[in-house]
Structure 1
């Protein structure tokens, strides 16, 4: 089973940034190790917003040290590209123009204005396994943890 970690940027990355980050992600996944042994890992950028790290736990599970190395790597991405990846109060949703991201107060304003409603699709970046990407990552606002936060 593949364990995943999803990190969401606080802004949509440019095409150029996305290309560069994708190269860096592939290089990181290639060398990512647990206790000196390679992990069966991959990494990708989706929608110029989400970094998804994956580890096949049937081969070897990531441990504290390997997770720490991924955090250090991602902190480097933040610094290099002037982006925040660890702010969990940034919310991504599907708008008429595609995927959008907004901070908590912006999300509240959009709710109050009716631009986001119970049927708006939001991204749940707390999922932990790859199979959840298909059925639990993008869910209607009314079925998300976001709803409890804004109730």
Structure 2
């Protein structure tokens, strides 16, 4: 069942899908509707199942599911990955590439591969105070607290040396 993002418990599972490009305004409304329809149909036979999403910075799709009240099976996870793969194909973006880094430069969100990110650090284009997105967070609480943080406070700080 689709619920408001704030109704999902703090210990619920979160998946962050960063897009390799910003979505265009005309795409966002359509994608948001597709995500909502997917969530409404995801485990629709289980009335206690709750899930939600956020679309942030015109680039990040965040899906959360209360996997404590209702356990997610491998088939449920596969269904969500298949859905994300369909979005990748339709909109010609990468959403599942974990070898990229997203960070803020001013008000803009940048998406770079790890090698280019390390070069930016080395060349001092980014500092330890630069804001990075940790797309590997696992719970809603971690998402709320640690998704958008300074590089020095994240696991990316190992690249500052």
TM-score normalised to the size of structure 2? 0.84
Which residue number corresponds to residue 84 of structure 1? 94
- What is the rounded CA distance, in whole Å, between the counterparts of 2:124 and 2:37 in structure 1? 43
Task: Give deviations 1:119-151, integer Å, cap 9, x for gaps.
Answer: 111111111111222211112112212233565
CA deviations over 1:84-121 (Å, ceiling 9, x no partner): 01111111111113322122232122112211111111
Residues 1-151 of structure 1 mapped to structure 2, 5 A cutoff: 1-33=11-43, 36-37=45-46, 39-148=49-158, 151=161
Aligned length: 150
Is the Cα–Cα contact under 8 Å of residues 5 and 128 in structure 1 kept in the other structure? Answer: yes
Structure 1 moving runs of 4+ over 4 Å: none
CA contact (8 A) 1:26 1:44 kept: no
* 1:12–1:101 contact (8 Å) kept in structure 2: no
For 1:139, what is the secondary structure of its paired residue?
strand
The answer to whether the 8 Å contact 2:17/2:95 transfers is yes
Gaps of 5+ in 2: 1-10
In structure 1, list runs of 5 or more residues that go unmatched: none
- Aligned-residue Cα RMSD (Å) equals 1.8
